[in-house]
Chains A and B, each alone.
Chain A
Amino acid sequence: MLKRKLIVLFFCMFATAAIAQDSYDTSVLLQEISINSYRFEQFSEGSKQQRIDSTSKSNHFASTVAEALNSLSTLYLKSYGISGNTSISLRGTSAAHTAILWNGINLQDPLNGGTNLELIPLQAVDELIVQYGGSGALFGSGAIGGAILMQSKAQFQTGLKTSVNVGIGSFSSYFAQASIQKGGKKTAASLRLFYRQAENDFPFENTQQFGHPEMTQTNATVKYFGISQDSRFLLAENQQINTHIWLQKSTRELPPNMTILVSKQLQTDEALRFSTDYTLSTSQYDLMARVGLLCSKLIYNDSLSRIYAKHISRSAILETELNYKIKTNHLLNFGIHERIDWGESDNYAQISHRNNLAFLLSYKVWNTEKTLHISSSIRQEIIDENWSQATPALGLTYKLGEYLQFSGKVSRNYRQPTFNDLFWQGGFAQGNPDLLPESAWAQDIGASFQKANNKSNFSLSLSAFNTYIKNLILWIPIQGIWIPQNQKEVWSRGIETDLKFSKTVQKLKLNFELHYSFNPSTLEKKAGNETDAILNKQLIYTPKHQAKAFISFQYPLGNLSIEEQYVGKRFTTADNTKWLDAYPLTNIILSSSFKKEKQNWGLSFRLNNVFNQEYQSMENYALPGRNYQISIHYNFN
């Protein structure tokens, strides 16, 4: 019922925007300041960030955020089969250690700490940024390995724009996206719809069964539908309101591993996300406020083993921040963030809830030449009545000469236990209300060289990082009952290099990117009931070596892109006696477009896994060989 009301509400909003008359002559546009990204943009000194650019985005015309990041960044995606659940690993940490931010709101599920990026179509977001390394001072609990930022925003003064994109792919997959937006001087709105379905009945040789039979993947159908709406209102020259609404439902069959022939697992995920923010900006200060609401429902049903589970979570968010601009080279940000999470599950005695009140303070200073920027932040969260550990951060960037830049950062980060960790009961398992948060200190240093002119751009950056996580939560059986305990410690460190090169030669534009990471992530302290054989060993499903490369050739007539990834061997046992072999993967994308006045027609073709590489990202789960996607798109500007 609530959902229906909201649908009505945002259709109304959209209609308002579309018919809005730009009768006010406002020449001064409010600066692009929003509570959704302000702290990240202003106080991230010393952190490595990777922005997924528009070429990569359009190459991934049918991808999910998970698929795109897997081929473009050094994030490792662990997937339980083609339509199964996925989890990510950033800088040697687990999925619960990466904050997933949608317009600044953390989408990590309060019940289990996870977010399935495989459920988020890349086209649902305007901007996708990977922030590597701990950023608890900015984003609070959960941001130990890093954060993934997804932004969407309606734009002023764009006129009317529409776009439609439909396509098909291997294994009976069909997808469609449509968007319409109108940006006036004082109002802007956009509406997006997306749909995808796939049978995923790909053929594979089942190497894990007797006789290695040729089989077809079963129980892997996926269907999802989503709708999102962004609006923007300029209330006065220095005041504006943004709203974001996102509704999505997905139904997925979860495939069995290759040692099991039949599965009947089905999972439905529904999400409603809403936020609205207000900004008042003056030359002296900015006042920003935001209200957010998240609802999500997960239903898991296994009709073979008669397991049925329903998990519902709701979150309400109220945040306010104030920026002071002192002189011309100081910036102060103070904020209060309040969030309440509710969790409902058959495995909780009652509806569980948690109140998180956070105070945050950030300060940035720079010299008059703007070669040195120093920022420091601290965040203090109060969980229910308990003060949790403060998360401070200190970072700087220093520009030496024309081409060189150095950066460094020290930060403390942490993660609250999930509701399951705290409140679970039943089935020989019991949550532990006395759990401590996981905590981590992290250090980052980096150096980069960049040389650019109007024809070419070259940049090379080198980053080194070091994170030590204490009090890792682990479920262990104690006298027949599984109880989570703070027992393990993990040391993740490594080096990342990022090379970017682009050059324009007459009508040809060449783009090249290479990202490499070397990341030992080892267990330094084990739980009491584990064997010594696992100490100091690389964590399972955490590749020590990863490289992702991308090259594109852009002509006015069309583009050719090649994506290449190399994922090093990943151990599957904690004592490192078993592993999945390293694999290379190649994707090729061809696209062409034709423009006539305001209309733009395009055709894109994507060939994944060109060399039919057999590989696994999770032991015993089959993944498809060579497969394609083709799409036709139409834009009107």
Chain B
Amino acid sequence: MKLKNIIYLFVFSLLFVSCTKTEDTPDYGEYGAGVLISNEGTFGAGNGSISYYNPNTDSVTNEIFQLENSRSLGDVVQSVSRIGDYTFIQINNSNKIEVVDAKSFVEMGAIQKLTQVRYAIGDENTAYASAWGTWGADGKVYIIDVNTLSVTDSVSTGLGPEAMVLLNNKLFVTNSGGWGFDNTLSVIDPTTKTVLETIEVGANPKSMVVDKNDNLWVLCSGSALYDENWTPIGHRPAKLVQINASTNAIIKEIPLFDEQHPSKLAINSDGDKLYIGAGFGFNGIYTFNISDASFTETQLINKSFYGFDVNPEDGVIFGYEALNFTERGKLYRYSESGAELGNYLVGIAPNGSSLKRNK
């Protein structure tokens, strides 16, 4: 090879290197791009875990927290959320949030003493975590400084605060009732840290999404009623409630089921179709168009999920089957039309996921 050719090759390779640089694909790291699945584990065993679904390889890696940090994650992993450069893992019975680097899943810190913590949302500066409190009777939203990973304040809510949405500079929190009963939505001003309003929606509101018109949809799960001998004596029905996020007024209510209690609400990427389903003892996933006047009971998927999510990018449905709650559960993926795309073993009692890609 002549020297000239070598120089050409050298120049060409320089060009190539600079070329890839200008393309600048974001660096998601090992765990930043795919789906993080929260697996509760067995109550009391401390064996909750996070599974990672990699869309590029269409495969699942289990126990990624244990893998990267060589220790147990905690007792009853309730939820997982990507917040700023971090991933927050809410661990209900360990009363803590474990914080890891979103890309590498290496531990960054733990926020302790969040009694019966449930869910978390937020950005690179501030995070909000809902927690049921002692006996499920001391509902709170904790405000967390994401830079220092410490609690700066808290706001009391109704019983069993669950899902949260930050919209129009207001923090909406569903009060699910916890171990008891509640039927309200707390509207919190995150600047003054006060409750602006408490909206009565329906029995046991557990899940909430925002539609294309920036209206809120709240799933009120309802609940089974028992007498003192645990004999079933009736039900509080399940319904959907649409709320104007500016005025906090109820737009419409859609009755769903009289005797069944779905616990999860999700929405498609266009923001006009709702998915309803999942929860202990509930079978199937149903859909509802936000313009419809009433709900028709047509199942999209017939399977008992403990939790599910819909990928906002491609509409793929991720269903989580807990099976017997003591051995590994399963992830099922479905197309928007409900056709199964694959199934995978995950951790014990999978209940939900974080589909959002990290920047």
B and A form one assembly: yes
Give, as a whole number of angstroms, the nearest-CB distance from A608 to chain B.
25
Q: Mark out the residues of chain B between 43 and 94 whose CB falls within 8 Å of any chain A CB in the assembled complex.
A: 44-47, 62-63, 71-75, 91, 93-94
Query: Is B191 part of the binding interface, using a Cβ–Cβ cutoff of 8 Å?
Result: no
Query: Is A50 part of the binding interface, using a Cβ–Cβ cutoff of 8 Å?
Result: no
Instruction: Judge whether B280 and A573 touch: CB under 8 Å.
Output: no
Q: Which residues of A contact B345 (CB under 8 A)?
A: 531, 533, 575
Instruction: Judge whether A530 and B75 touch: CB under 8 Å.
Output: no
What is the predominant secondary structure among interface residues of chain A facing chain B?
loop
A578-B282 Cα distance, complex, nearest whole Å: 30
Give, as a whole number of angstroms, the nearest-CB distance from A78 to chain B.
12
Q: Using A259-B75, A260-B95 as known contacts, say yes or no to A480 and B46 having CB atoms under 8 A apart.
A: no
Q: Which residues of B contact A80 (CB under 8 A)?
A: 44
A527-B323 Cα distance, complex, nearest whole Å: 10
What is the predominant secondary structure among interface residues of chain B facing chain A?
loop
A477-B326 Cα distance, complex, nearest whole Å: 11
Q: Using A210-B109, A533-B328 as known contacts, say yes or no to A620 and B282 having CB atoms under 8 A apart.
A: no
Q: Which residues of B contact A527 (CB under 8 A)?
A: 324
Instruction: Judge whether B71 and A529 touch: CB under 8 Å.
Output: no
Q: Which residues of B contact A575 (CB under 8 A)?
A: 327-328, 345
Q: Which residues of A contact B73 (CB under 8 A)?
A: 259
A259-B304 Cα distance, complex, nearest whole Å: 30
Query: Is A428 part of the binding interface, using a Cβ–Cβ cutoff of 8 Å?
Result: yes
Q: Which residues of B contact A531 (CB under 8 A)?
A: 323, 327-328, 330, 345
Which residue on A lies nearest to B74, using beta carbons?
A: A259
Q: Which residues of B contact A572 (CB under 8 A)?
A: 47
Q: Using A207-B71, A209-B110, A260-B95 as known contacts, say yes or no to A573 and B327 having CB atoms under 8 A apart.
A: yes
A207-B46 Cα distance, complex, nearest whole Å: 13
Query: Is A257 part of the binding interface, using a Cβ–Cβ cutoff of 8 Å?
Result: yes
Instruction: Judge whether B95 and A262 touch: CB under 8 Å.
Output: yes
Instruction: Judge whether A620 and B107 touch: CB under 8 Å.
Output: no
Query: Is B229 part of the binding interface, using a Cβ–Cβ cutoff of 8 Å?
Result: yes
Give, as a whole number of angstroms, the nearest-CB distance from B225 to chain A.
13
Query: Is B150 part of the binding interface, using a Cβ–Cβ cutoff of 8 Å?
Result: no
Instruction: Judge whether B283 and A210 touch: CB under 8 Å.
Output: no
Instruction: Judge whether A619 and B280 touch: CB under 8 Å.
Output: no
Instruction: Judge whether B91 and A259 touch: CB under 8 Å.
Output: yes
Query: Is A349 part of the binding interface, using a Cβ–Cβ cutoff of 8 Å?
Result: yes
Pick from A210, A212, A349: contact of B98, CB below 8 A: A210
Q: Which residues of B contact A428 (CB under 8 A)?
A: 280-281
Give, as a whole number of angstroms, the nearest-CB distance from B333 to chain A.
17
Query: Is B246 part of the binding interface, using a Cβ–Cβ cutoff of 8 Å?
Result: no
Q: Which residues of A contact B109 (CB under 8 A)?
A: 210
A577-B325 Cα distance, complex, nearest whole Å: 16
A262-B281 Cα distance, complex, nearest whole Å: 31
Interface string of A530-562 (1 = CB under 8 A from B): 110110000000000000000000000000000
Instruction: Judge whether B281 and A529 touch: CB under 8 Å.
Output: no
Q: Which residues of A contact B95 (CB under 8 A)?
A: 260-262
Interface string of A196-238 (1 = CB under 8 A from B): 0000000000011111100000000000000000000000000
Interface string of A506-527 (1 = CB under 8 A from B): 0000000000000000000001
Give, as a whole number of angstroms, the nearest-CB distance from B113 to chain A.
8
Interface string of B300-334 (1 = CB under 8 A from A): 00001000000000000000001111111010000
Q: Mark out the residues of chain B between 98 and 154 whose CB falls within 8 Å of any chain A CB in the assembled complex.
A: 98, 107, 109-110, 112-113, 134-136
Interface residues of A (CB under 8 A from B): 80, 207-212, 257-262, 304-306, 347, 349, 425-428, 474, 476-477, 479-481, 527, 529-531, 533-534, 572-575, 577-578, 619-620
Interface residues of B (CB under 8 A from A): 44-47, 62-63, 71-75, 91, 93-96, 98, 107, 109-110, 112-113, 134-136, 226, 229-231, 280-283, 304, 322-328, 330, 345, 348
Listed by A's residue number, 9 A-B pairs whose Cβ atoms lie within 8 Å are A258-B72, A261-B94, A261-B113, A480-B282, A527-B324, A577-B62, A578-B47, A619-B72, A620-B47
